Chain A
């Protein structure tokens, strides 16, 4: 299979698939990164506050790196992509856009998302689009800290007390279908798999279930049965809360879009 050493060497279907993948990666990190920042100053304990703030900072930095790769492929610059793109052009999954909920909900989401992200990064380190593979090999080191943090809280709270268990089970039940929506597949994701840019979403989903179910069960939590995947984000059909998220994220920018920072 053909490898692509830089932005000028990739065209046609492979280029289209790479651009699609980068939008999914960047928009997921950007929106969930923004949601995590909503805990800054508010988390139940100081360490949890710093953790959410740090993970948010990592994710927004990682989103910027993915947007920069998009810019190299001829898309608008990172600021324009975040602050001036039409909402229906975003490709984030619904899970990343949901309101932060209570701390159990956000902690469960951080775990479910970062387990998926870690798997993606492991595979993308071998992507045929080499600029992406190089970036991802760098990001894997920081990602491990997110996964470690998520694991710790899931295992601590899943079976600590009946109250903590109930909170975590409720959080899991409420978002498991949204989590499955991270792996929404379509023509574009299939093209990415065909050209060795990214593994197939179905394969990622199976691997994610294997790892996540094991950790949840060890923590004494029950995997929701018969949950259906909440899809649509990957084709630009978003939850109503996405509109308020974007408005909030852009409120300062929109005061004066031409300002220099």
Chain B
């Protein structure tokens, strides 16, 4: 079951609560749930299975995230805990929650534009609002940044460069 629907089952809710404490190692303000990484949770007695849908195929943090999920869900009283990688549903930046977007901005990263299923186009990287001063007088410096999910921009408003969590669809 995904987080978008209300979680009636108390055991399943305990797993989701545990997952909300597992932070993205590269952006430690935002949880794996807010990032949209969790594709589903299944509980069968004391056993729990968590499915994760990776942001990028080459995400180097994935092994760490997997083991942190295992630890957190085990600490919540489940055993055995298995973490499976799935590609269906595919992760897109639209999976980042509203609270996730707010926290990205607090972290100094411009949040990704909501694509609503539309394909990303080069113009989606133009005029990205600066996370510091909200100006849209900004230019794309590089579509690739310090991690796979970030691009680099420059703000003419406050005259500094900033990073942007890229739209990926």
| A interface residues, Cβ below 8 angstroms from B | 47, 50-51, 53-55, 57-62, 64-65, 134-135, 137-139, 141-142, 144-145, 148-149
Contact = CB atoms under 8 A, between A and B. Distances in A.
A60 B92 CA distance: 20
B83 interface: no
The secondary structure that dominates the B interface is loop
A57 B90 contact: no
B168 interface: yes
Contacts of A47: 141-142, 144, 152
A2 to B, nearest CB: 20
A149 to B, nearest CB: 6
Contacts of A58: 56-58, 148
Interface of B: 53-54, 56-60, 87-88, 90-92, 119-120, 122, 141-146, 148, 152, 166, 168-169
Given A54-B148, A62-B58, 18 more contacts: A50-B142, A50-B146, A51-B142, A51-B143, A51-B144, A54-B144, A54-B145, A57-B148, A58-B58, A61-B56, A64-B57, A134-B90, A138-B87, A141-B169, A142-B57, A142-B148, A145-B144, A148-B122
The secondary structure that dominates the A interface is helix
B99 to A, nearest CB: 23
Contact of A141 (B59, B88, B145, B168): B168
B144 A134 contact: no
Nearest to A51: B144
24 contacts: A50-B142, A50-B145, A51-B142, A51-B144, A54-B145, A55-B144, A57-B58, A58-B148, A61-B59, A64-B57, A65-B57, A134-B87, A134-B90, A137-B88, A138-B90, A141-B92, A141-B169, A142-B56, A142-B168, A144-B119, A145-B143, A145-B144, A148-B122, A149-B143
Which of A58, A59, A64, A144 has the most C-beta atoms of chain B within 10 angstroms of its own C-beta? A144
B64 to A, nearest CB: 14
A88 B28 CA distance: 45
B143 A148 contact: yes
Contact of A139 (B57, B142, B143, B144): B57
Nearest to B93: A141
Nearest to A68: B85
Given A47-B144, A57-B58, A145 B166 contact: yes
Given A54-B148, A138-B90, A144-B119, A60 B58 contact: yes
